[in-house]
């Protein structure tokens, strides 16, 4: 009996020692991971892109804020010649129903892509009472200017900015110069079905706002054709401002014309989430932070790099 009791005590001791070791391991691992996350956040928030800022006048009240990335270390392997990540330009087009430009869809997004090794720029297009074709022409001019320096340009549009990106991305390829893809974030797509009324009105202006012919002409899904830019598009299932069906209208046409695309409809979240990360808190919009939705940045970059690698 004494020997049996001794064996049980020893087993208990071993079990307790194992538990302690496991707890210590998890604690150390967690802290290392936490430290890594904190360092990454500090690296991102303290990233000074302003020193490389360049402002270009696009006319009629529009500006291009350009952030050149001079990091020449990270390369993307391609079939032909490799390309530096910093030679890829993400042109960010913020939303705001064509009546304002949302702040959290500007610098934070430019900073994010810059922190990943890319160059970035913000299209500060003219808003209402300025309307089409002013904003469209400013977008084309920005693309033309950026193409003088960057061999790969990717449009990144949010909400109404997603509509403008879509209008630009479905333009004839010769007018898009070095543009190779577009990322559409909870975009306004249709001006006919499930449309966002304020965006439609402000884009077309009061003279053309009620003309059915223009509703059809400037619905992005109606402009898709075989040479439309490869597209990454994401939205939110319960978006109460721009219904998720807008994304489905676009996806349907991308399939029809065999355009390369990927799309995601996130189950959680609300309209206007931007990066959906810690930057939302800095702008006082805590409910915009969502770990799952925040994955769109990596997923869209992976998609675009795949497109670039194969060209």
Which tokens in the block code for residue 185?
A: 């974030």
Q: Between helices 296-309 and 107-115, what is the axis angle to 10°?
A: 60
Yes or no: say if 241 and 272 are a contact pair by the CB < 8 Å rule: yes
Which residues does 151 contact at the CB level (< 8 Å), separation at least 6?
A: 83, 87, 178
The region of weakest confidence among 63-77, 82-96, 248-262, 290-304 is 63-77
Q: Where does 94-244 have alpha helices with state H?
A: 107-115, 134-147, 160-169, 197-208, 212-217
* CA 98 – CA 105 distance, rounded (Å): 14
Range 154-158 average pLDDT? 98
Domain at 49-309: CATH code: 3.40.50.1820
pLDDT over 50 at 33, yes or no: no
* CA 226 – CA 170 distance, rounded (Å): 10
Yes or no: say if 105 and 164 are a contact pair by the CB < 8 Å rule: no
Q: Model's pTM, two decimal places?
A: 0.84
Q: What is the pLDDT of residue 297?
A: 98
187-212 confidence digits (pLDDT tens): 999 999 999 999 999 999 998 888 99
Q: What is the pLDDT of residue 287?
A: 73
């Amino acid at each position: 009996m004494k020997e049996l009791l001794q064996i049980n005590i020893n087993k208990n001791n071993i079990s307790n020692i194992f538990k302690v070791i496991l707890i210590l391991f998890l604690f150390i691992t967690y802290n290392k991971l936490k430290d890594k996350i904190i360092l990454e956040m500090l690296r991102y928030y303290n990233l000074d892109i302003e020193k490389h800022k360049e402002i270009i006048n696009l006319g009629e009240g529009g500006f291009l804020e350009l952030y050149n990335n001079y990091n020449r270390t990270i390369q993307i392997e391609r079939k032909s010649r490799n390309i530096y990540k910093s030679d890829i330009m993400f042109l960010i087009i913020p939303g705001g129903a064509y009546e304002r430009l949302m702040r959290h869809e500007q610098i934070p997004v430019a900073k994010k892509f810059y922190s990943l090794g890319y160059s970035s720029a913000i299209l500060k297009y003219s808003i209402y009472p300025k309307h089409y074709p002013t904003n469209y022409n400013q977008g084309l001019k920005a693309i033309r200017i950026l193409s003088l320096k960057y061999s790969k340009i990717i449009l990144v549009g949010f909400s109404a900015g997603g509509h403008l990106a879509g209008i630009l991305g479905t333009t004839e390829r010769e007018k898009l110069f070095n543009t190779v893809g577009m990322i559409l974030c909870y975009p306004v797509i249709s001006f006919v079905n499930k449309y966002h009324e304020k965006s439609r009105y402000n884009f077309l202006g009061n003279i053309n706002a009620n003309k059915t012919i223009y509703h059809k002409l400037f619905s992005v899904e109606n402009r898709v054709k075989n040479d439309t830019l490869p597209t990454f598009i994401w939205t939110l299932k319960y978006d109460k401002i721009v219904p998720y069906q807008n994304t489905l209208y676009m996806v349907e046409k991308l399939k029809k014309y065999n355009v390369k695309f990927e799309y995601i409809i996130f189950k959680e979240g609300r309209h206007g989430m931007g990066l959906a990360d810690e930057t939302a808190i800095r702008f006082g919009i805590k409910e915009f932070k969502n770990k799952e939705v925040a994955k769109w940045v990596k997923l869209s970059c992976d998609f675009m790099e795949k497109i670039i690698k194969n060209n």
